Amino acid sequence: CFQAETVGSSNMENDVSLTFHQQLFLISENLVPEDVAALKFLCTDLIHFRKLECVKSAVDIFELLMAQEYLNAEDTFLLAELLYRIEYHSLLKKLGYTKEKVQEHLCEKGRVSPYRQMLYELSVNITSEMLKKIIFLLKNHLPKQWITPSALDLMISLEKMDLLTKDNVKILEDVCMTVSPNLLKIIDRYKKAKACRFFLNTGNNSFEYLGRIYPCTVGVFILQYQYKQKPCLCRKNKYEKNNQKNFRIDLLNMTMLSCMEELFLSVKHYKMDGPHRGFCLIINNVHFSSSQRKGSCKDAEQLERVFTWLGLDVKTYTDLMSVDIIKLMEIWQKVEDHQDRNCFVCCILSHGKSGVIYGTDDKPVSICTLMSHFTAKQCPQLAAKPKLFFIQACQGNNIQHPVYVHTDGPTPDSSSVQERVSLCESIPEEADFLLGMATVDGYCAFRHVEEGSWYIQALCSKLQLLVPRGEDILSILTQVNGAVARCVSPSGTKKQMPQPAYTLRKKIIFPIPMAPPPS
């Protein structure tokens, strides 16, 4: 017979020591309101603005950073970076850092975006007299009888009205040209860095490719415009003379860079910014012949909220027999609307065993068979688009069940599948597929009867946390692995390890939603 597992709640958060809180308190005591406003502004890309609106003190900011897992006793670098950005270097020692040590790690660990840094530097260099002139120039763009206490407030207001974005700083250029042309140097540095930054992640092959297209520009590309950071030599000039260390630099003009940026980004990432993101199917099998998968509805509800937030059209199906699951896949493989979508997602919550999931009639359905409905041949509308499958189901049953702990799998005598199927065999031999399994082959997947399964709850939590940070799906699933690995059954002996497998050719990065995460 089938059983639905029950496990105790797991502690997903690290304990923060009293010493750590004391460090934060001492730092906050040294920060004046202007410093708090600066920290708040620098965190705008990290914490949703609605939450920042309630900030009254540095402690409020620290609590928000800890809640978003940006700051903890083991990793205080973000706070060190923030103090470095506002040039409060004397407080760095309270975190065990120096100015030089922060500079050394900024390239790999820095979180404050170049765009935010540029706006902050501008605000620091805008005097009160300049601010008055800028407000006068922007009079038609600002609300009537509107008072701007500081340059930072002006920046935030322009962003709220969508007059200022990381891709459009023209309004700043216009007012700076009139009020103080020297300020344009700060904006120009940012624009050049933005135009060149894409080379940083494309590797040397991109230079060789450019060399074939533009033979006159096979020289060096030095990303020396990384904002407030030391130049980084990426490739030596082909015409280096006398082995000198100072290499000749050939920079493409900005127009060509802009075109090439679009080319390289299209190669690196799947297109995910269309008006219609895609469909998300949720199959939630709860009621079986001899049991109920209690807590599964919590998983289905959370998946629906999260993927709706990510811009997908979610369709939920409950209690499907094996034949109905196959019919559903056949229906969706023929949907013409896939052609206008960026991706396809399918989440299955059920019982399972090696390589299969079960319908409510206790009959197995091959995972590979389900996925094969969406290959380029079977579903040409989804060709070259990412197809994501997330499976919450056991892939084995060799666990001794303690009291109140059940599994998402049948007992040995009710299974018609005798051999294990490797995860690689479950994925169609074709590109653009991702299969996220709740557990490795041969093992159980656990679920709390009230709070939902370890895997699905961790998946939803990490999507909400990391999509706004621009993380790709594989990086997010790595974090999911870590979160689930920290879960433990009440007996302290039952663990679980998810396993993703994929044939993706590019990164999947969901666009950052405008709305805050659903939970």
Residue numbers annotated as active site: 351, 394
Q: Kindly give, in sequence order, each residue whose CB lies less than 8 Å from that of residue 126, ignoring residues fewer than 6 positions away.
A: 134, 151, 180, 183
Which two three-digit tokens encode residue 488? 């433990």
Helix or strand or coil: residue 349? strand
Q: Give the per-residue SS3 of 373-392.
A: CCCCCCCHHHCCCCEEEEEE
Partners of 279 in the β-ladder: 313, 344
Residues paired with residue 317 on neighbouring β-strands, in sequence order: 283
At CA 311, angle to CA 310 and CA 315, rounded to 5?
A: 100
* Dist CA 338 CA 329 (whole Å): 13
**Residue 468's CB: how many other CB atoms inside 10 A?**
18
CA distances from 391 to 154, 298, 382, 438 (A): 47, 15, 20, 6
**What whole-number distance in Å separates Cα of residue 373 and Cα of residue 60?**
50
| CA torsion through residues 151, 152, 154, 158, sign | positive
Residue pair 234/226 in contact (Cβ under 8 Å)? The answer is no
CB atoms within 10 A of CB 253: 9
* Positive or negative: CA dihedral 426, 428, 430, 432: negative
**Cα–Cα dist 68/437, whole Å:** 26
Q: Give yes or no for a contact between 283 and 351, defined as CB atoms under 8 angstroms apart.
A: no
Q: Are 394 and 443 in contact (CB under 8 A)?
A: yes
Pairing of strands 499-502, 433-437: antiparallel
Kindly report the backbone phi and psi dihedral angles of residue 201, in degrees, each rounded to the nearest multiple of 5, phi listed first: -105, 0
